[in-house]
Structure 1
Amino acid sequence: MQNKVQLITYVDRIGCENISDLKSLIQNQFKGLFGGVHLLPFFNPIDGEDAGFDPKNHAQIDPRLGNWNDLKSLSEEVDIMADLIVNHISAESEQFQNYLEKGEKSEFNELILTEDKVFPNGASKEEITKIYRPRPGLPFTKFTLADGAEKNVWTTFTSNQIDIDVTSKKGEEYLDNILQTFEASGVTMIRLDAAGYAIKKAGTSCFMIDETFEFISAITEKARAKGIAVLVEIHSFYQTQIEIAKRVDYVYDFALPVLVLDTLFNKDAGNLKNWLAISPRNVVTVLDTHDGIGIVDVASEDGKPGLIKDDVLSDIVEKMHKNSSGTSRKATGAAASNLDLYQVNSTYFEALGRNEKEYLIARCIQFFVPGVPQVYYVGLLAGENDMALLKETNVGRDINRHFYTLKEIDERIDSYFFQNFKKLIVLRNSHPAFEGIFEVKDTKSNVLHLKWLNGKEWAELFVYLDVMEVEIIYSESSLEQKLTFS
């Protein structure tokens, strides 16, 4: 992965009808802005129950978006990251439909993970209670097979997302086939989606257990052998994230979004500085994603303190809801059909009360902390909460998944905000200091001073929280220059 700003987007929600249109957008309106693009699920179909994260066929591009040759063509313009959805397939997939028809005689019987494969003698109430869940209710859905038999099938997320047995021969073949397809089509990086849930073992939480780490390590080795780097997506206690980072190429810095909000809301960079002293360096940094703003990543766990005190964290969540005029509350938790109750669903711009100045400061912080910065397409355009889409789907995360028209995009890139953001992106992509050594300078908690030094080249960020002002200075031909925003 290039140490340049990365874009994360759906193909069909950013003013494009297909992959070829996206290539044109990258070459023109967004020329020179991104070192890589993470294409959110483009598999068949893109409009399933979970916006492509429940593929009927993970090895086929939705024909409405194009084909693998189109993706290969895009990869010649920009690095491509794709999702390897390791935990589940669609209930409408050929594999699961064959299983429903033939049961244990199905060639895909060992691929489909059922309750009795993990609990052959049945699961006790205590064992069920131990299982970590991203949503309320049991982790199983009862299906009736063609012969009338009933089976409890693992469905960690929704009843349309059928968990697979990744430890079985069929499970390995399934994932290997996707990796081979990616390799042939120019994909140079994968994100392991829902990897934390991939291994189920009786008597455990079935989330990030020792065997899960082993699985992640094994699939990382396979990908690396094909020239594909691995990013692991895990929302969890911060110490778990530190451990995962030691075993893979990249992890997300999911603690950063809330720590930046904490810094700006409370005019105190203390918690952020503490995190930067211990955080992994092989990270992809984000402020927003296609999911919500994660809370679990900074919260306490089982009596162990988190990165932010629980009472302060509660106030931050309330501040986000207030800043969005309550719209985020309508999309969060039990208020809508949410898969994860531990996130706040809102655009980051709305979480900051649509304050362009503070939003730009937040991006300055993201771009100056260690890691490769990734920008979500809605965040790129300082998007607002899409209440119409939320009302239409009642899916909480859709509040931050707007379908932009090309006209909307052209209007936003002509705005003062985007022109300022563009300056920041260009500096982050081009200045050699960001290949050097990072330092958090010792200051009062109401001042954040971050510095990068690479030989004689340097770049520094000053955030004066009391007055909410930002200053960026950097070297150019041995002279000091200042990045100014209009």
Structure 2
Amino acid sequence: MKNEVQLITYADRLSGGTLQDLRALLNGPLAGVFGAVHILPFFYSIHGADAGFDPIDHTRVDPSLGDWSDIKALAQDMDVMADVIVNHMSSDSPQFIDYSKHGAASPYNGLFLTFDAVFPEGATEEDLMSVYRPRPGLPFTCMTLANGEKKILWTTFTPKQLDIDVQHPQGRSYLESILQALASNGVKMIRLDAVGYAIKKQGDSCFLMPETFGFIDEFAALCRSVGLEVLVEVHSYYRKQIEIAKRVDWVYDFALPPLVLHAFFFKTGKHLKQWISQRPTNALTVLDTHDGIGIIDIGADPSDRVNRPGLVPPQELDRLVEIIHINSGGQSREATGAAASNLDLYQVNCTFYDAMGRDDTAYLLARAIQFFMPGIPQVYYVGLLAGRNDMDLLERTRVGRDINRHRYVSAEVDSELGRPVVQQLLELIRLRNAHPAFDGAFSVEPTDDSCLHMRWINGPVVAELLVDFTDLRHELLFTDEGGTRRIAFAKAF
């Protein structure tokens, strides 16, 4: 992975709506800004129950976006990342339609995980209550197949997303076919989506168990054998992220967004600095993604809150969520928790810009902190444009996460790119990509808890960021052969 900032975006929600339009944008107004692009699910169909995360055919590009030649063309310009949706597929897939018609006689018998495959002798109440799910209720759907058989299928997320038995030969073959399609069409990196739920076991949580880690090890090795770097996407207790990072190429630093918000809201860098001292450095740093702002990532372990505390005290975590709701004028409250049919109870749905009260200085300083953190920065397309909550889209779909999934048209992109806050963000991105200090050594310099002082040194060149959270005074400087360059958003020291 290049040590440059990446873009994460839907192909159809930024500019014209096709892969060719996305390529034109990245080679036009955004030329030289990003070293890689993570295109969120572009498989057939992107119009399902979960914005493409319930693929009917994971080896086919949705024709409304283009085809594999468009992915290959984009991959010639920059590195491309794609999702491998490990845990599930659409109930409209041809594989399930065949299984529904023919049952045990179907060649896909065994591909879809059934209740009795995990609980052959039935399940006790304790068994069922042990299963971890980030949404209310149990992860099962009762179905009558087309052939009249009745089955209880595992559906971790929605009834339209049928869990795959990844340990069955049919499951392994299905996943291998996806890897071959991606690798043969120029994709360099993959994100394992929902992999934490991939293994199910009676009497256990069915989430990030030792057997899950074993599967991640095996599947990551398979990915590398076809030339694909592996990013694991898991929202969980922070120590599990540290453990996962030892086993794969990359993990997300999902603790960073709420910790950055905490630093600005509570005017202290104490907990952020404590995280920096222990976090994995093989991380993609994010402030926002297509999902919500994670809370579980800095909270206590739900299975043992006493002995496995979170990164911030629980009362401060509760207050952090409330401040997001206040800063957004209550909009995030309408999209979070049980509101708006949103079932991801561990996330707050809001754009990061609105979560920070649309304060340009604070927002740019948050991005600067992200870019100075060891790892590879990734910027979500709405965050790139300092986007605001899309209440109209939320009202139409009643899907909580849509508040942060605005559909930009070309004229709107052009207009947003002209805003001063976006122009300053683009300048920061270019500096992060080009400045040689970020290939050197990183340190956090001693300060009191109200400040954060981050430094990169590579021989004679230095990049330095000092932020005082009490009043947003800051110093941002870059030195090289040409001298020292200072950038100030406001309230510079």
| TM, length-normalised to structure 2 | 0.97
CA separation in 1, counterparts of 2:219 and 2:377?
24
**1:188-235 deviation digits (Å, cap 9, x = unpaired):** 000000000000011110000011111111111111111110000000
The alignment status of 1:445 with 2:449, answered yes or no, reads: yes
Aligned to 1:191: 191
Distance in 1 (alpha carbons) for counterparts of 2:98 and 2:67: 26
The answer for the alignment partner of 2:155 in structure 1 is 155
Distance (whole Å) between structure 2 residues aligned to residue 339 and residue 78 of structure 1: 35
- Identical aligned pairs, as a percentage? 54
- SS of equivalent to 1:13: coil
Partners of 1:50 and 1:215 lie apart in 2 by 25
Aligned residues: 486
Return the alpha-carbon distance in structure 2 between the equivalents of residues 265 and 290 of structure 1.
23
CA contact (8 A) 1:5 1:36 kept: yes
Number of the residue aligned with 1:44: 44
Query: 8 Å contact 1:158–1:339 — kept in the other structure?
Result: no
CA contact 2:460–2:480 (8 Å) conserved in 1: no
Counterpart for residue 415 of structure 2? 411
Residue in structure 2 matched with residue 173 of structure 1 by the alignment: 173
Query: Within 2, Cα distance between the matches of 1:469 and 1:374?
Result: 25
Cα contact 2:474–2:488 (8 A) shared by 1? no
Structure 1: distance between partners of 2:419 and 2:390: 20
Q: Which amino acid aligns with 2:285?
A: T
Q: Deviation digits for residues 19-43 of structure 1, max 9, x if unmatched? A: 1111110001101100000000000
What residue in structure 2 maps to residue 345 of structure 1? Answer: 349
**Which residue matches 1:207?**
207
What corresponds to 1:114 in structure 2? 114
Q: Is 1:402 matched with 2:406? A: yes
Report what 2:277 is aligned to. 277
Structure-2 residue corresponding to 1:332: 336
Contact 1:456 1:478 in 2 (8 A): no
Q: Distance in 1 between matches of 2:376 and 2:81?
A: 13
Query: Whole-Å Cα distance in 2 between the matches of residues 138 and 213 of structure 1?
Result: 23
TM superposition shift of 1:485: 4.0
Matches for 1:213-362 after TM superposition, within 5 Å: 213-301=213-301, 302=304, 303=306, 304-362=308-366
Tell me by how many angstroms 1:456 deviates: 1.6
| Structure 1 residue 483 displacement after superposition | 2.3
Q: Do the aligned residues in 2 keep the contact of 1:11 with 1:22 (CA within 8 Å)?
A: yes
- 3-state SS of the aligned residue for 1:410? helix
- Farther off after superposition, 68-77 or 98-107: 98-107
Q: Take 1:148 and 1:332, find their aligned partners in 2: how far apart are those partners?
A: 39
- Say if 2:439 is the partner of 1:435: yes
Could you tell me which amino acid in structure 2 is paired with residue 344 of structure 1?
A: V
What TM-score comes out, normalization by structure 1 length?
0.99
- Stretches of structure 1 that go unaligned for 5 or more consecutive residues are none
Return the letter of the residue paired with 2:399. Answer: V
Deviation of the 1:336 alpha carbon: 1.6
Which portions of structure 1, spanning 4 or more consecutive aligned residues, are displaced by more than 6 angstroms? none
**Does the CA contact (< 8 Å) of 2:44 and 2:58 recur in 1?**
yes
State yes or no: 1:424 paired with 2:421: no
Deviations 1:138-160 (A, max 9, x none): 11000102332211000000000
For 1:469 and 1:30, how far apart are their aligned partners in 2?
30
Query: Distance between the aligned counterparts of 1:329 and 1:264, measured in 2?
Result: 20
Query: What is the distance in 1 between the residues matched to 2:338 and 2:242?
Result: 30
CA distance in 1 between partners of 2:343 and 2:7 (Å)? 24
2:99 maps to what in 1?
Answer: 99
Question: 1:390 corresponds to which residue?
Answer: 394
Q: Distance in 2 between matches of 1:339 and 1:319?
A: 21
